[in-house]
Amino acid sequence: MKVRTRIAPSPTGDPHIGTLYQSIFDYAFSKQNNGDFILRIEDTDRERLKEGSEINIIQSLKWAGIKPDEDPIIGGEFGPYRQSERLEIYHKYIQELIDNKYAYYCFCSKERLDELRQNQIKQKIQAKYDKFCLNLKKDEIDKNLKEGIPHVVRLNVKPGEDIIFEDLIRGEIKFKSDIVDDQVLLKSDGYPTYHAAVVIDDYLMKITHIIRGEEWISSTPKHILLYKAFGWDIPYFAHLSLLRNRDKSKVAKRNNNTSINWYKEKGFLPEALINYLILLGWSHPDGKEIFPLSEFISKFSFDRVNKGGPIFDIDKLRWINGLYIRSKSINEIKKYVKPFLNYEIDNQKLEEIIKLVQDRLKVFSEINEYINFFIEKPNIDMKMITENYPINEVKVILKHTIDTLIKNGITHESETLLREYANKNNYNIGNFFMIIRIAITGKTATPPLIETMQILGIDEVKERICNIIDK
């Protein structure tokens, strides 16, 4: 058996971080077993479609390094890979279910269904369809179809059956068919529901392992009943835990930072994002936190998949991204930061600055925070610079700093001399150098001070300090 996995997102908006999270596991398992990873677009919910969403999904996965073997653009032996192009296929198989009494036409109006639901709620019983249309006579069905009465097709779920499957992550899961609704398979607009389309597609595309989010566990019995109705082999199922916010709520589109594009636009490295998402759902057998996708593929096993709800921590991701940035060459970082720069800056100066800030950068979009005072004279908050010492003492410190730098140059020897001066005059070392730092950069936290001044040059440093003395 050739392993085939798939990801099947709906093109209803920006590509979700949860889609990438699931894709990593589908992709890794297929590649570990020399199999295929398929991207299928589930676009049967026509009301929620967003123009450009499909190509956005494809490009986002490509950016992240998760490359399908088959998709709507690449094509493949088992296409089409858009559900909207497979309507004839669905109608054929759903009609087969009707002919074999595993499905039936339902002509109930919205008003009747609403009334049924309200009555069930009042009676505190499970809200599900009451099979009212199951036993309609053939001539009545034909008459309704001929007259064009709106209708759907429902799955005929038989009561009293046990539905059991072995989840590769969670072990045996059992449902009673009594709690499974007669799910709609074909909507009144002629489009299949998710439940019908996903089973038909997965079978025809020879998907062997369905790795998806835990929210689909409750739908699995419906899918298994469909596989059995068709007489098809049932694939393996594995349900990943959903990503959670710190308050344990589901990471959803209404919250921030759920779009893959957001991470790209903020300057996260795709390999760092992939690494972090893997850590959320799986633990490395050697306890490692930093490792490439290729290592995950070689080491992956379902028994190390996290069964709890992993908490998505943006600060942890930033930390990991910073580690990856530190592993890059200056030329690589220069290429990554250029799209984020708000300033025109020559390559040599940019390289010098990157050498200083590489250990501090967490995401590339922060680069301007470290570059702005190299390009523009800072707007100094005088309250900050006189916070620890009277204004006259601040002037003395700054004048002595200029004299030392002019006499000895911007060197670590000058730094040593300034440190000796501070100690001799009983100045707190941190407060002493903070005055100089703020005068030159306008910030309380910067790259190393001497190296920063060396990039600015003695003339610029002198001018900035003199401006503060004048103020």
Q: Answer whether residue 200 shows pLDDT above 60.
A: yes
**Residues 391-431 pLDDT 10s:** 999 999 999 999 999 999 999 999 999 999 999 999 999 99
Cβ neighbors of 119 (< 8 A, separation 6 or more) are none
Report whether 98 contacts 105 (CB < 8 A).
yes
Q: Is the pLDDT at 93 greater than 90, yes or no?
A: yes
3-state SS of the chain is CCCEEEECCCCCCCCEHHHHHHHHHHHHHHHHCCCEEEECECCCCHHHCCCCHHHHHHHHHHHHCCCCCEECCCECCCCCCEHHHCHHHHHHHHHHHHHCCCEEEECCCHHHHHHHHHHHHHCCCCCCCCCCCCCCCHHHHHHHHHCCCCCEEEECCCCCCEEEEEECCCEEEEEEHHHCCCCEEECCCCCECHHHHHHHHHHHCCCCEEEEEHHHHHHHHHHHHHHHHHCCCCCEEEEECCCECCCCCECCCCCCCCEHHHHHHHCCCHHHHHHHHHHHHECCCCCCCCCCHHHHHHHCCHHHECCCCCECCHHHHHHHHHHHHHCCCHHHHHHHHHHHCCCCCCHHHHHHHHHHHCCCCCCHHHHHHHHHHHHCCCCCCHHHHCCCCCHHHHHHHHHHHHHHHHHHCCCHHHHHHHHHHHHHCCCCHHHHHHHHHHHHHCCCCCCCHHHHHHHHCHHHHHHHHHHHHHC
Looking at residue 204, what is its pLDDT? 98
Give residue limits of the domains in the chain. Answer: 1-71+241-327, 87-186, 329-367, 377-470
> Quick one: pLDDT band at residue 91, thresholds 50, 70, 90?
very high
pLDDT of residue 308: 86
CATH class of the 377-470 domain in this structure: mainly alpha
Averaged pLDDT of the chain: 94
The pLDDT value recorded for residue 289 is 97
According to the model, what pLDDT value does residue 445 have? 87
Architecture of domain 1-71+241-327: 3-Layer(aba) Sandwich (3.40)
Q: Would 1-71+241-327 and 377-470 be classified into the same CATH topology?
A: no
Catalytic residue (choose from 2, 92, 101, 253): 253
CATH class of 87-186: alpha beta
Q: Which of 28-32, 41-45, 204-208, 223-227 has the lowest mean pLDDT?
A: 41-45
pLDDT digits (tens, 9 = 90+) for 112-133: 999 999 999 999 999 999 999 9
pLDDT of residue 61: 96
Tell me the pLDDT tens digit for each residue of 246-305: 776 777 655 558 899 999 999 999 999 999 999 999 999 999 999 999 999 999 999 999
Q: Residue 256: its pLDDT value, please?
A: 54
Is 399 one of the annotated active-site residues of the chain? no
pLDDT tens-digit map of 27-68: 999 999 999 999 999 998 888 888 999 999 999 999 999 999
Residues of the chain with pLDDT > 90, as a percent, come to 85
